[in-house]
Amino acid sequence: MHERSVAKNILREMEELGQEYPQGRIAAVEIEVGLMSGVDASLLASALEIEQDRMQPRIDFQIHTVSLLAHCGPCGKTSQIESFVFSCIHCGSQQIDITQGESVRILTITLDDPS
Ligand SMILES: [Zn+2]
């Protein structure tokens, strides 16, 4: 299961970050899952739950799915790619660069102040 290894990588990153900031505790993490990242958001959510099973305290993961966006070279506009049609919806050019939707990214990390 691919999502399982993605979940493991995310948790390992959080663990390393936790060592860098021992004064804070990671409370919440916001993750962006691209529609074309090959990762299923709900499978990733359950994989994170499973992998966190023995972790205390747990991190609250918020997962958002994002659509595929592309930037057009010739006209400079941004298109949302649908139905795998890889061309600019404004001018029809195929000289586009995918700017969002191909990867899994960590957007924000919320640290809790211990008190
Ligand atoms: Zn264009």
Q: Which domains does the chain have, with CATH numbers?
A: 2-69+103-112 (3.30.2320.50)
Quick: pLDDT tens for 5-48: 999 999 999 999 888 888 888 999 999 999 999 999 999 999 99
Please tell me the distance between residue 20's alpha carbon and the centre of ligand 1 in angstroms. Answer: 43
Please tell me the distance between residue 70's alpha carbon and the centre of ligand 1 in angstroms. Answer: 10
Please tell me the distance between residue 28's alpha carbon and the centre of ligand 1 in angstroms. Answer: 38
Question: How many Cβ atoms from other residues are within 10 Å of residue 43's Cβ?
Answer: 16
- State the pLDDT at residue 9: 95
Please tell me the distance between residue 101's alpha carbon and the centre of ligand 1 in angstroms. Answer: 18
- State the pLDDT at residue 31: 97
Rounded to two decimals, what is the model's pTM? 0.83
- State the pLDDT at residue 55: 74
Q: What is the mean pLDDT of residues 100-114?
A: 90
Q: Is the pLDDT of residue 50 over 70?
A: yes
Please tell me the distance between residue 31's alpha carbon and the centre of ligand 1 in angstroms. Answer: 29
* Burial class, 78, CB count within 10 angstroms (exposed 0-12 / middle 13-18 / buried 19+): middle
